[in-house]
């Protein structure tokens, strides 16, 4: 089934099903055929195609009894009193129209917003203290965000910790005044999207019956069960657990369609909901000239403003069909995904360094004993041998080298993140002041993690996915440890590098003596409960890919190995990269423009959707070689097996059509370089591509200000990621080269030639310095009359693992750099020119002397004591 329905996963380990699961091929094929064979019109019309749409949508929502072979598409609830009618959605949740109504929304977030705005809140007054909005701190951001609506109504919001609710359940705290009908709302997730913890569904009945109160206040409690994460892999029986509101998103269950969710509303609560705005399709009648409006009768028609996403609703039918056909139902999915999670959790717990220290720290409220208390989600951070946390961003970058897709950060659940990682409220504020925002890659601040790593399983996940992930963790952390080697994966296996990249495995150590509470874990699906043996038996050992073993020429060695005395600081090489992510164009002297080296990263290759391609997605970009001829004002592009093609350096203003593109979240004006180069690129890559150039009159402003910059002026950028220039220092490269060669298990003298290693870092300026990484202590540099401010280090991604001559990947470079630089993969520094006068031409040249100015309060072991803590010109 995996090969037939999810062939696109070949060679990929997808472990972010809690973020978005994947759709099967047959579901999409069936839906596409449906659209091609039928005409679906707007359901608010009365023609034949509209009637077909209406009936199909209501079939998904409510499947009514058939009358003379036709579906009764009317949705007025009073027409079906006494009938138990079900639809695909209600049937899936084991309920019927007798108890629930389905309101289609844009997703679970929109459903939560609807409840916040329509709930019958009572503001404080002379006769009462008003309603309470209570939510579990382990809630998604979209739940917590409801408090902004309640605050506007002067309704008190009360966050409650999971342990406090559990304590209330144990005490059996009852309502102080059972006759009081003041409405309160309690929200909690059936499953934490952070840790996978499953909270008792029994809370629903206990709270609604008044036998348990999240907060001891008089009134009537209603319950909103956030089921979005839970129902992706588990059945939910609403005939037993009758929550008042159940928001959900369908892509979490089916993978497709996205942007469609629903709010399941208990019919006993529906009459209490209040609505102010009314949109198309919700009115039985209204007047444009005066305040007269009569809503439609059914709750769905009242709250579905405008035309619903009817084609997406129709797609749900095919989603339900495929899910049942491929899996046999949600109970099977629950058992399958939990078994994979339990197996992976147990193996992770057993991983130890030779010292006995754990390799990972898992954040969980359970010991993965049962799917009733734990979903198929594992949240963790990786530790080094000293017990220090390795930032999630570094783990994510390493995982991508193995084509393993994980999720990192706080997962839109700050409350759970704070609780499990020990982050105080004050620390959150300090992290914000330090520049950290939700969703970025600032993973450690003062050594403390700002987030973690999450993996999650779906019904199409297989044992090999779990094993590939475990092999990756072992390769990442234990590859240097002495111990019993584990079996090697076969090239081409899931999560393993390609055959051309494979090389001999190196030993890894697994703790074979560790005892843990999971030793007696169930052995469903043939997974052994002898944990250490299991880890070894499955071959948790990825091969490290082979590097190109070309030998350095004598001249290359002379340029890199300078016998401890690196000589004066001079520019040894200059490179520009006319096409973003394509090969370098080396020069000895080159003009400077307002955005950096003239024509550096002025072009980019985009896919058929207009998305900029990089070597992360398309490593063969490095095989595209551009050459610029300034005199003829052309760029010649070459590639193996292709005829050279010429592209003009500047656009023809009369025929150029400007379009907007995006680079690093910035909108830039570009123009298409023509059909000829598009066809050339498409033939080379085997899929549609286009070449775009940044418009010459478009100014892309840099986010970071340069000191000494005049007020109101901003430095401008080409299509670069961060800054106008990137500089690397040869002694720094040499140190990394020596570390890589020393770790070569095969004893080869020269694993990485100096020139090849330099090319991986794709810098503009290469200097010969006096000591490794001294460039990180510089505040600015001068080259002749040109001054450049050092903006900071370049945080490296997995692109440095790509051999720029072959397009082959080698994880060693990233991993070794990560190890040697305290897990922060920094290499090279960003530069911006300051106070540049363009009244006369300016050039950078190989051989020019580089004069750095140290940062203030910088200590450097090469400096005499008398010069420390001062600005020093070398």
Q: How does pLDDT run across 201-211, given as a tens digit for each residue?
A: 999 999 999 88
pLDDT at 862 over 70: no
User: What contacts 473, CB < 8 A, 6 or more positions away?
Assistant: 348, 351, 359, 360, 382
Q: How confident is the model at residue 86 (pLDDT cuts 50, 70, 90)?
A: low
pLDDT at 20 over 60: yes
Comparison of pLDDT for 668 and 506, the residue scoring more? 668
pLDDT of residue 668: 82
pLDDT of residue 822: 67
User: What contacts 396, CB < 8 A, 6 or more positions away?
Assistant: 406, 408, 441, 453
pLDDT of residue 808: 87
pLDDT at 627 over 50: yes
**Three-state secondary structure readout of 594-612:** CCEECCCCCEEEEECCCCE
Angle separating helix axes 310-327 and 25-37, nearest 10 degrees? 140
Q: What percent of the chain clears pLDDT 70, i.e. is strictly above it?
A: 80
For 690, the enclosing helix (H) or strand (E) is strand 689-694
Residue with tokens 């418009």: 695
> By mean pLDDT, which of 50-59, 487-496, 759-768 is the weakest?
487-496
Highest mean pLDDT among 232-246, 638-652, 758-772: 232-246
Question: Over the stretch 437-447, which tens digit does the pLDDT of each residue have?
Answer: 888 888 988 88
Comparison of pLDDT for 505 and 236, the residue scoring more? 236
Q: How far is residue 127 from each of residues 124, 141, 180, 785, 796, measured CA to CA in Å?
A: 8, 33, 12, 78, 62
* Sign of the dihedral defined by the CA atoms of residues 168, 170, 176, 181, in that order: positive
**CB–CB of 223/243 below 8 Å?**
yes
> How large is the average pLDDT for residues 667-677?
89
**CB–CB of 468/404 below 8 Å?**
yes
pLDDT at 541 over 60: no
**CB–CB of 861/610 below 8 Å?**
no
**CB–CB of 260/316 below 8 Å?**
yes
How far is residue 109's CA from residue 107's CA, in Å, rounded to a whole number?
A: 5
Question: Over the stretch 323-339, which tens digit does the pLDDT of each residue have?
Answer: 999 999 999 999 999 99
**CB–CB of 344/466 below 8 Å?**
yes
Q: How confident is the model at residue 169 (pLDDT cuts 50, 70, 90)?
A: low
Q: What backbone phi and psi angles, to 5 degrees, belong to 601? A: 55, 50
pLDDT at 413 over 50: yes
The top-level CATH class assigned to 88-325 is: alpha beta
For 658, the enclosing helix (H) or strand (E) is strand 658-663
- DSSP state string for 428-477: HHHHHHTT--TTSS--EETTEES-EEEEE--TT--HHHHHHHHHHHHHHH
Domain extents for the chain? Answer: 88-325, 331-479, 593-699, 720-854
Q: By CB neighbour count within 10 A (0-12 exposed, 13-18 middle, 19+ buried), where does 834 fall?
A: middle
pLDDT of residue 555: 36
Residue with tokens 């208390």: 373
Q: What percent of the chain clears pLDDT 90, i.e. is strictly above it?
A: 60
How far is residue 672's CA from residue 693's CA, in Å, rounded to a whole number?
A: 7
pLDDT at 140 over 90: yes
pLDDT of residue 713: 59
Q: Does residue 257 have a cis bond before it (omega within 30 degrees)?
A: yes
Residue 40, classed as helix, strand or coil, is coil
Please tell me if the domain spanning 88-325 has the same topology as the one spanning 331-479: no
Helix, strand, coil tally for the chain in percent (to 5): 30, 25, 50
pLDDT at 787 over 60: yes
pLDDT of residue 177: 64
Q: How far is residue 719 from each of residues 188, 499, 600, 666, measured CA to CA in Å?
A: 45, 34, 8, 9
Question: Over the stretch 602-615, which tens digit does the pLDDT of each residue have?
Answer: 999 999 888 899 99
Classify each residue of 767-799 as buried b or exposed e, where b means 16 or more C-beta atoms within 10 Å of its C-beta: bbbbbbbbbbbbebbbbeebbbbbbebbbbbbb
How far is residue 117's CA from residue 508's CA, in Å, rounded to a whole number?
A: 56
pLDDT at 303 over 80: yes
Q: How confident is the model at residue 559 (pLDDT cuts 50, 70, 90)?
A: very low
pLDDT at 821 over 80: no
- Helices (runs of H) and strands (runs of E) counted in the chain: 23, 40
Phi-psi domain of 816 (left: phi exceeds 0; alpha: psi -120 through 50; beta: other):
alpha
Q: How confident is the model at residue 744 (pLDDT cuts 50, 70, 90)?
A: low
What one-character DSSP code corresponds to residue 398?
H
pLDDT at 407 over 70: yes
Task: Please compute, for residue 671, the number of CA atoms within 13 A of its CA located in the half-sphere on the CB side.
Answer: 18
What one-character DSSP code corresponds to residue 241?
S
pLDDT at 347 over 90: yes
How far is residue 551's CA from residue 569's CA, in Å, rounded to a whole number?
A: 27
Question: Over the stretch 788-808, which tens digit does the pLDDT of each residue have?
Answer: 999 999 988 888 888 999 988
Token pair belonging to 573: 């090489």
> By mean pLDDT, which of 249-263, 283-297, 641-655 is the weakest?
641-655
Q: What does the mean pLDDT of the chain come to?
A: 83
Residue 795, beta-bridge partner list: 826
Q: How confident is the model at residue 561 (pLDDT cuts 50, 70, 90)?
A: very low
Q: How confident is the model at residue 30 (pLDDT cuts 50, 70, 90)?
A: very high
pLDDT at 866 over 50: no
CATH dotted code for 331-479: 3.90.1150.10
Q: How confident is the model at residue 109 (pLDDT cuts 50, 70, 90)?
A: very high
Give catalytic residue positions.
Answer: 412
Comparison of pLDDT for 549 and 761, the residue scoring more? 761
Task: Please compute, for residue 755, the number of CA atoms within 13 A of its CA located in the half-sphere on the CB side.
Answer: 17
Q: How confident is the model at residue 153 (pLDDT cuts 50, 70, 90)?
A: very high
Residue 852, classed as helix, strand or coil, is strand
Torsion angle of the four alpha carbons 236, 241, 245, 249, in this order, in degrees rounded to the nearest 10:
-10
What one-character DSSP code corresponds to residue 134?
E
Question: Over the stretch 367-401, which tens digit does the pLDDT of each residue have?
Answer: 999 999 999 999 999 999 899 999 999 899 889 88
């Amino acid at each position: 089934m995996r090969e037939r329905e999810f062939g696109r996963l070949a060679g990929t380990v997808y472990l972010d099903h809690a973020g978005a699961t994947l759709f099967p091929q047959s579901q999409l094929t069936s839906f596409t055929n449906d659209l091609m064979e039928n005409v679906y019109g707007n359901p608010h019309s009365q023609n034949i195609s509209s009637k077909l749409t209406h009936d199909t949508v209501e079939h998904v929502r409510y499947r009514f009894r058939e009358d003379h072979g036709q579906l009764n598409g009317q949705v007025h609830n009073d027409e079906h009193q006494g009938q138990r009618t079900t639809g695909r959605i209600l049937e899936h949740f084991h309920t019927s129209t007798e108890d629930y109504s389905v309101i289609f929304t844009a997703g679970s977030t929109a459903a939560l917003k609807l409840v916040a705005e329509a709930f019958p809140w009572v503001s404080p007054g002379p006769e009462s203290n008003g309603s309470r909005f209570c939510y579990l701190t382990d809630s998604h951001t979209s739940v917590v965000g409801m408090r902004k609506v309640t605050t506007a109504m002067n309704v008190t919001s009360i966050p409650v910790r999971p342990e406090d609710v559990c304590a209330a359940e144990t005490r059996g705290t009852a309502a102080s005044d059972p006759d009081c009908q003041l409405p309160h709302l309690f929200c909690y997730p059936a499953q934490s999207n952070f840790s996978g913890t499953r909270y008792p569904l029994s809370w629903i009945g206990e709270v609604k019956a008044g036998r348990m109160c999240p907060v001891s206040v008089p009134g009537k409690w209603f319950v909103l069960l956030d089921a979005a994460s839970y129902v992706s892999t588990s059945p939910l029986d609403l005939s037993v657990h009758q929550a008042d509101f159940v928001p959900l998103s369908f892509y979490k269950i089916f993978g497709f369609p996205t942007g469609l969710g629903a709010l399941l509303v208990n019919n006993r609560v529906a009459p209490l909901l209040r609505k102010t705005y009314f949109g198309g399709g919700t009115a039985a009648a209204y007047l444009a000239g005066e305040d007269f409006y009569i809503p439609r009768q059914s709750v769905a028609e009242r709250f579905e403003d405008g035309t619903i996403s009817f084609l997406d609703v129709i797609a749900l039918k095919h989603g339900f069909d495929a899910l049942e056909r491929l899996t046999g139902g949600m109970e099977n999915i629950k058992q399958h995904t939990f078994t994979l999670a339990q197996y992976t959790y147990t193996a992770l717990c057993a991983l130890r360094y030779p010292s006995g220290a754990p390799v990972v720290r898992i954040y969980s409220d359970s010991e993965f004993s049962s799917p009733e208390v734990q979903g198929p989600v594992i949240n963790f951070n990786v530790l080094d041998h000293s017990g220090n946390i390795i930032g999630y961003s570094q783990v994510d970058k390493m995982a991508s080298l193995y084509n393993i897709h994980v999720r990192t950060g706080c997962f839109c659940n700050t409350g759970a993140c704070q609780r499990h990682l020990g982050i105080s409220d004050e620390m959150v504020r300090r992290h914000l002041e330090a520049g950290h925002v939700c969703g970025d890659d600032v993973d450690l601040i003062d050594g403390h993690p700002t987030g973690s790593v999450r993996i999650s399983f779906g019904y199409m996940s297989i044992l090999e996915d779990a094993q590939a992930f475990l092999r990756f963790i072992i390769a990442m952390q234990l590859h240097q440890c002495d111990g019993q080697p584990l079996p090697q994966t076969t090239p081409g296996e899931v999560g393993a590098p390609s055959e051309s990249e494979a090389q001999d495995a190196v030993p890894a150590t697994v703790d074979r003596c560790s005892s843990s509470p999971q030793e007696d874990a169930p052995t469903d699906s043939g997974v052994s409960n002898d944990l250490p043996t299991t880890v070894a038996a499955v071959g948790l050992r990825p091969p490290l890919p082979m590097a190109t073993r070309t030998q350095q020429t004598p001249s290359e060695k002379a340029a890199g190995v300078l016998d401890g005395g690196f000589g004066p600081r001079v520019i040894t090489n200059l490179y520009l990269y006319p096409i973003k992510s394509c090969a370098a164009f080396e020069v000895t002297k080159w003009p400077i423009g307002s955005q950096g080296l003239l024509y550096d990263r002025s072009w980019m290759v985009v896919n058929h959707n207009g998305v900029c391609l990089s070597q992360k997605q398309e490593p063969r970009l490095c095989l595209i070689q551009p050459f610029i001829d300034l005199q003829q004002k052309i760029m010649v592009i070459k590639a193996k097996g292709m005829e050279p093609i010429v592209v003009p350096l500047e656009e023809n203003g009369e025929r150029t059509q400007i379009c907007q593109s995006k680079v690093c979240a910035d909108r830039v004006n570009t123009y298409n370089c023509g059909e000829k180069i598009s066809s050339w690129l498409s033939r080379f890559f085997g899929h549609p591509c286009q070449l775009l150039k940044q418009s010459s009159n478009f100014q892309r402003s840099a986010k970071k200000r340069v000191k000494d910059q005049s007020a109101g002026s901003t430095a401008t950028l080409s299509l670069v990621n961060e800054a106008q220039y990137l500089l690397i220092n040869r002694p720094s490269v040499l140190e990394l080269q020596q570390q890589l060669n020393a770790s070569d298990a095969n004893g080869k003298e020269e694993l990485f030639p100096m020139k090849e290693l330099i090319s991986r870092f794709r810098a503009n300026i290469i200097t010969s310095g006096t000591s490794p990484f001294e460039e990180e202590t510089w505040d600015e540099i001068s080259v002749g009359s040109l001054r450049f401010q050092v903006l900071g280090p370049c945080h490296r991604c997995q692109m440095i693992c790509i051999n720029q001559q072959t397009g082959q990947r080698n994880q060693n470079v990233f991993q070794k750099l990560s190890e040697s630089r305290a897990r922060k993969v920094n290499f090279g520094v960003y530069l911006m020119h300051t106070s540049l006068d363009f009244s006369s031409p300016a050039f950078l040249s190989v051989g020019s002397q580089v004069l750095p100015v140290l940062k203030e309060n910088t200590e450097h072991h090469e400096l005499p004591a008398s010069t420390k803590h001062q600005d020093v010109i070398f």
